[in-house]
Amino acid sequence: MTLTKPADADMSGFVDWFRAAAPYIHAFRGKTFVLAFGGDAMLRDDFVDLVHDINLLNAIGVRLVLVHGVRPQVEERLNTSGEAQYVQGRRVTDGDTLEHVKDAVGSVRVDIESMLSIGLPNTPMAGAEIRVASGNYVTAQPAGVVDGIDLQFTGEVRKVAADAIQHRLDAGDIVLLSPIGYSPTGEVFNLTLEDVATSAAIALRADKLIFILDYGDTVDAKGRPINRLTASQAQRLVKDLPDGDMKLYLPHAAKACRNGVLRAHLISADVDGALLMELFTHEGVGAMVSRQSVESLRNAGIDDVGAILQLIEPLEQEGVLVHRPRELLEQEIERFFVAELDGRIIGCVALYPFPETQAGEMACLVVHPDFRDGGRGEALMNAVADSAREQGLKRLFVLTARTAHWFVERGFVVGTPDDLPATRKEMYNWQRRSKVFIKEL
């Protein structure tokens, strides 16, 4: 076998990706993720890839709770004993059906544990030595009578033994939960994986709840991608969704976020590597639900100086912006606003007031290239305009050498250096010959 050196471009792409993923690797260490997938996932040829990705999360120190489903496995066993009956999406579980459920749960659980135990050389599982803990962590109660039909051994989660699960996570184990629960009287109940996963995430105050969609994609009723939304937005959206995994899981994702889970993610099993791309890239490939918007626009603080420098330095090198040394930025940081997305600074702008002429300069308006299509530049501009009005300023002006049309499209008109406040005109750089634009407030 002849070994060839990877192309420099390929290596550069890998380095760029790894550097971009590094903050997430650091942030996720020690965090608790609940990952839920249906029984159909086990039947996919690429399920082993999901197992490899689970191994990677475990390797970087993520505390993992896996919740699996068994619907197709139970239906396969029921083919010889009659049709299943469903009420509002839940199976009516009689005594015979419960035996099939227990049989399917045991079989699937063993298969998952065996795949997590693979340690073959030259595979992503090499040297993993993953330990899996499972048991009677879920207490259940009967679902009762729904629409006049007794669901019998179909149950609902009553309690999750969070302390016991935390103990196993502290020991470095992956905890595996099945869609069954036990009553204090020793009865066994058939549960839904979404109920178990949501209840576990809430009880553990998990950092993330992740649902993998076996069918369908993370799109709305018109086929438009759903990227980020709040729990309240999710609740409004779900009623218009077609039947499928998205409609099934989205209300549970919203419920989890309303009850203390920081983020809930829905990703399609049809996207290769979806779990890693959703977690380790800013854009993601699925739908993320949070209790409140993960994006905010706020006043900058001294801790934001480094992030602002990273935003503006490429434009300074291109000559788009005037160079601002760190010392100057630290002195003027109270002039800045920043746009923050999921903990990352993706935009900034500054307001320099000239109260003697009731004018203000909007400067250093920058949005990261990856996020320039979401109206964030205009939002930053509006924040500056609102702040200027609060300070009693009557107009904004901006000096730019490259983005004249953008400002004209937003109500600015062409001015001249003579329109600038006297103190600002003295600092005008006649070599740069920046254009002046003015907007009345």
Bridge partners for 180 per DSSP: 190
Contact 191, 67 (CB under 8 A): no
Mean pLDDT of 179-205: 96
Q: Which residues pair with 341 in a beta bridge?
A: 295, 344
CA atoms of 332 and 329, how far apart (whole Å): 5
Strand partners, 363: 350
Residue 256: the pLDDT is 95
Residue 242 has pLDDT above 50, yes or no: yes
Amino acid identity of residue 77, one-letter, is: R
Range scoring the smallest mean pLDDT among 1-15, 46-60, 81-95, 149-163: 1-15
Structure-model confidence comparison of residues 408 and 79, the more confident one: 408
Q: How confident is the model at residue 73 (pLDDT cuts 50, 70, 90)?
A: very high
> Can you tell me the mean pLDDT for 34-45?
94
Element (H, E) at 6: none
Predicted confidence (pLDDT) at residue 384 exceeds the cutoff of 90: yes
Min mean pLDDT across 15-24, 144-153, 183-192 is at 15-24
- Which of the 8 DSSP states describes residue 435? E
Predicted confidence at residue 89, as pLDDT, reads 79
CA distances from 110 to 19, 104, 195, 366, 392 (A): 37, 10, 22, 53, 69
* Contact assessment for residue 394 and residue 358, using Cβ atoms and an 8 Å cutoff: yes
Q: Tell me if 31 sits within 8 A of 208, measured CB to CB.
A: yes
Q: Mean pLDDT, the chain, as a whole number? A: 89
Return the pLDDT at 439: 94
pLDDT of 376 above 90: no
Beta bridge pairs of residue 170: none
Spatial distance between the Cα atoms of 84 and 72, rounded to a whole number of angstroms? 12
16: pLDDT strictly greater than 80: no
- The model's pLDDT over 50-61, given as tens digits with 9 standing for 90+, comes to 999 999 999 999
Judge whether residue 431 has pLDDT over 90.
no
Most distant CA atoms of the chain, gap in Å: 90
State pLDDT tens for residues 300-346.
Answer: 999 999 999 999 999 999 888 889 999 999 999 999 999 998 778 99
Closest CA to 161 of 142, 144, 143, 182: 182
Q: Return d(Cα 324, Cα 305) in angstroms, integer.
A: 11
**Architecture field, domain 296-440:** 3-Layer(aba) Sandwich (3.40)
Give 103-159 pLDDT, tens digit per residue.
999 999 999 999 888 865 666 666 667 899 999 999 999 999 988 899 999 999 999
Residue spans of the domains in the chain: they are 23-294, 296-440
Percentage of the chain with pLDDT > 70? 94
CB atoms within 10 A of CB 372: 13
Contacts of 122 (CB under 8 A, 6+ apart): none
Q: Are 285 and 267 in contact (CB under 8 A)?
A: yes
pLDDT band at 22 (very low <50, low <70, confident <90, very high): confident
Confidence (pLDDT) at 222: 86
What whole-number distance in Å separates Cα of residue 426 and Cα of residue 422?
6
Fold of the domain spanning 23-294: Carbamate kinase (3.40.1160)
The average pLDDT across 384-402 equals 92
Would you state the pLDDT for residue 71? 92
Structure tokens at 198: 């949501």
Average pLDDT over residues 90-95: 89
- Give the global pTM: 0.71
Please tell me the predicted confidence (pLDDT) of residue 9: 54
User: Which of 245, 249, 339, 349 has its CA nearest to residue 293?
Assistant: 339
Confidence of residue 247 (pLDDT cuts 50, 70, 90): very high
What distance in Å separates the CA atoms of residue 273 and residue 49, rounded to the nearest whole number? 8
| Residue 1: predicted pLDDT | 37
Highest mean pLDDT among 162-171, 257-266, 273-282: 162-171
69 secondary structure, DSSP code: -
